[in-house]
Structure 1
Amino acid sequence: MTLNLTPTQILAGVGVLLTLFMVWRYSARKAQRAADKARASARVVSLAGRVLFTGAVFTGIQWLVITHMNNPTLVLVVLGLPDMIAAYVLTRALTVTSLDTTTRRGGDRR
């Protein structure tokens, strides 16, 4: 069995293969960008949940100490300690120390 293809048919086949390859690469990059965006939004939601939970714990402990204790030193510690922790966390959160970047493979350009 012999195939007899004209140069036009060969060029058309190569063009179709090249187009399919380019579409595949484009869709892979688009999927990667979508995954990166989803990860970033999940981080924000997770952080918000942790902040709300920690705030509720601090508030509950402060309420217990203030309503059931008469020791002024203990009240000052219970009110001051969360402020110190919050100041530390805010300072760390607002200070940029590194960039969240993904590793690139080969000669992939951005």
Structure 2
Amino acid sequence: MTFVLTPTQVLAGLGVLLTLLMVWRAGARRARAAAAAARSGARLLSLFGRVLFTAGLIVGVQWLVITRPDGNPWVLLAALGLPALFASYTLTRALTVTTVDTPRKRGGRP
């Protein structure tokens, strides 16, 4: 049993194989992009949960310190001041614009 194929049939078969390979690679690329998007969404949700938990913890401690009738003023200052310092540091870092130095090319120009 032998197969006799014309050059046109061989080229058509190679074209079909090449098309299948391209479709398969595009599907894999799309699946990888979808997985990356799902991971970043889960990461954002995880970050949001941690932020809410930490904020609730800080508010709870501050409420406890403020509502104590025999509270020490230094404890009150620490309970209100330390979270304010951390928040101001974080906001300052987030809102500060820094420049990025690009590596120089051979000619000495960026």
TM-score range, shorter chain: 0.7 to 0.9
Ranges in structure 2 where 5+ consecutive residues have no aligned partner: 99-110
Report deviation, 1:38: 1.3
Identity of aligned residues (%): 63
1:32 aligns with 2:32: yes
Unaligned ranges ≥5, structure 1: 98-110
For normalisation by structure 1, the TM-score amounts to 0.77
RMSD, aligned α-carbons? 1.9
How far, CA to CA, are the matches of 2:96 and 2:16 in structure 1?
50
| Higher Rg | 2
Compared with structure 1, are the counterparts of its residues 94 and 30 closer, same or farther at alpha carbon in structure 2 (3 Å cutoff)? farther
Letter in 1 for 2:41: S
AA paired with 2:40?
A
Using a 3 Å threshold, how does the CA distance of structure 1 residues 14 and 37 change in structure 2: closer, same or farther? Answer: same
Structure 1 residue 65: deviation in Å? Answer: 1.0
TM normalised by structure 2 equals 0.77
